[in-house]
Chain A
Amino acid sequence: MTRPGRTFAAVLAALALALALLPLLVRNPYYLNVLNVVALNVLVVTGLNLLIGYAGQISLGHAAFFGLGAYISGILTATYGWPPWPTMLLAACLVALIAAMIGVPTLKLQGNYLVMATLGFNLIVSVLLVQLDDFTGGPSGLSGIPPLTLFGAALNNDLSFYWLAWGLALLGLLLARNLVHSRVGRGLRALHESPLAAAASGVPIEAYKVKVFVVSAVYASVAGSLYAHYYGIITPKTFDIFKSVELVTMCIVGGMGSLWGSLFGASLLTPLPQLLEVVEEYKDILFGGILLVLLIFLPQGLVGWLEGRRSSSGRAF
Chain B
Amino acid sequence: MAALLSIQGLSISFGGLTALSDFSLEAPAGAITALIGPNGAGKTTALNCVSGVLKPDAGAVSLDGRPVLGLAGHQLARRGLTRTFQNLQVFGRMSVLENVMVGLHGASRREFGAAMLRLPGVRPEERAIGERAWEVLEFFGLAAQAGQPADQLPYGDQKRVELARALAARPRLMLLDEPVAGLNPAETDALGSLIVKIREQGVGLVLVEHDMSLVMRVSDQVAVLSGGRLIAFGPPSQIQADPEVIRTYLGGGEEFGLVA
Contact = CB atoms under 8 A, between A and B. Distances in A.
Co-assembled chains A and B: yes
Given A1-B130, A179-B116, A196-B73, A186 B102 contact: yes
Contacts of B126: 1, 182-183
A183 B129 contact: yes
B105 interface: yes
Nearest to A205: B74
B78 interface: yes
A211 B110 CA distance: 14
Contact of B115 (A183, A201, A203): A183
A193 B118 contact: no
Nearest to A175: B116
Interface stretch (B26-34, B83-91, B195-203, B215-223): B83-91
A261 interface: no
* Contact-size category for A: 20 to 34
Contact of B51 (A200, A204, A206): A200
Interface string A174-211: 01101100111111011001101111111111100001
B89 A197 contact: yes
A178 B102 contact: no
B184 to A, nearest CB: 24
Interface string B41-80: 0000000000111000000000000000000111011100
Given A186-B105, A190-B102, A203-B102, A197 B85 contact: yes
B13 interface: no
* Contact-size category for B: 35 or more
Interface string B77-112: 110001101000111111000100111111110111
Given A186-B101, A211-B111, 5 more contacts: A175-B116, A183-B115, A197-B162, A201-B77, A205-B73
27 contacts: A175-B117, A179-B115, A179-B116, A182-B126, A183-B101, A183-B126, A186-B94, A189-B91, A189-B94, A190-B91, A190-B102, A193-B94, A197-B85, A197-B89, A197-B90, A198-B105, A200-B51, A200-B73, A200-B82, A200-B85, A200-B166, A201-B74, A201-B77, A201-B102, A201-B105, A202-B77, A206-B72
Given A197-B91, A199-B74, A204-B72, A178 B116 contact: yes
Contact of B108 (A178, A183, A197): A183
A188 B52 CA distance: 20
A253 interface: no
A194 B72 CA distance: 15
Contacts of B78: 202
Per DSSP, chain B at the interface is helix
Interface of B: 51-53, 72-74, 76-78, 82-83, 85, 89-94, 98, 101-108, 110-112, 115-118, 122, 125-126, 129-130, 162, 165-166, 169
B21 to A, nearest CB: 25
A215 B112 CA distance: 9
A204 B108 CA distance: 12
The interface centre, meaning the residue of A194, A196, A202 with most chain B CB atoms within 10 A of its CB, is A202
The interface centre, meaning the residue of A175, A196, A205 with most chain B CB atoms within 10 A of its CB, is A196
Contacts of B53: 196
B102 A185 contact: no
A194 B115 contact: no
Contacts of B106: 201-203
B85 A202 contact: no
B92 A193 contact: yes
A185 B89 CA distance: 18
B10 to A, nearest CB: 19
B93 A193 contact: yes
Given A175-B116, A178-B118, A182-B122, A200 B77 contact: yes
Contacts of A1: 126, 130
Nearest to B107: A202
A207 B117 CA distance: 20
A187 B106 CA distance: 10
A193 B73 CA distance: 16
Contacts of B111: 184, 211
B84 to A, nearest CB: 8
A201 B165 contact: yes
A203 B53 CA distance: 14
Contacts of A182: 110, 115, 122, 126
